[in-house]
Amino acid sequence: MLPNYHFLGFELNWYSFFPSLGVFTTIFFGLWYIRKNVNIRLSVIQTLLFFFVLYILLMTGGRIVGAIENYLKVGSFPDISVFFAAPSAGRFRWCGSLLMVLIFLPVISKKLLKIQNFNAFFDMLALSFCVLTVFTKQACQFSGDGCYGIATTLPWGMYYPYGVAPNILPVHPTPVYDSLFHLLFFAFLLYWDVNRKKVSGQTARIYFIAVPIFYILLEFIRLNPVVAYGITLPQVVYVLILLSVIPIFKIFMHENKQQEYQLSSS
């Protein structure tokens, strides 16, 4: 939407600036949440290993779906080196990251890292993902990388004259929709987590149900490659997330009850 900002010979790249701002904001929020939540207790080693595993899962999932999307667009997979590049290098899809985290992070954290009460920690991650998305989607908005929507005659339709995918007609500013949804959803989730949550894991369960539904609907006005019958690749991935939520969180809730029973008996 806007060209990169230049000042005294320094270039401010939107695609790097907003994700970096999102990461720092998310870290501050996460530290605040951990201090407020007595159920989250990690050693230094556990913390470092957890965030290392989280980063690997986020990058791997995002790159796998990005590589598949590249194949659907041009008929070939990107070079293997793309898996070792930063998200700002492109070919990175958040839906793949969420699927990978949902399936593998609980198992790795509980079985290998021996994190107690991971469900409470997963609630923190769900809230943190909202904070992160509010900022990262503005990287798409400002850089005009083509992740906007289809043409529209609505008064808030936008032009993206700069970037790799300039448009001719006004289009749906889907990055704005995305950021606004996550900002409002974060406010709701935080209220729920503080005032309404009965057991750990409920906040994360709401996140992993509501966010895929939002994105499945948003895809109908976005420009993404179609897999079949008008269904896009991200929609397929988000359906897989929804199908995974019920069995995974059923296990979460069962473990929660066991932990609560052990605490009450001791």
In the numeric block, the tokens 């920690």 are attached to 121
pLDDT band at 104 (very low <50, low <70, confident <90, very high): very high
Burial (CB count within 10 angstroms: exposed 0-12, middle 13-18, buried 19+), residue 127: buried
Q: What is the pTM of this model?
A: 0.87
3-state SS track over 170-215:
CECCHHHHHHHHHHHHHHHHHHHHHHHCCCCCHHHHHHHHHHHHHH
pLDDT value for 14: 66
More confident residue, 1 or 172: 172
More confident residue, 11 or 214: 214
pLDDT tens by residue, 155-189: 998 888 776 677 788 888 899 999 999 999 999 99
262 has a pLDDT exceeding 60: no
27 has a pLDDT exceeding 60: yes
Burial (CB count within 10 angstroms: exposed 0-12, middle 13-18, buried 19+), residue 109: buried
Tokens, residue 202: 């409920």
| Mean pLDDT of the 36-44 span | 76
pLDDT value for 100: 95
Task: Provide CB contacts within 8 A for 162, sequence distance 6+.
Answer: 1, 2, 3, 143, 144
End-to-end Cα, the chain, rounded Å: 60
Calpha distance 68→103 (Å, rounded): 19
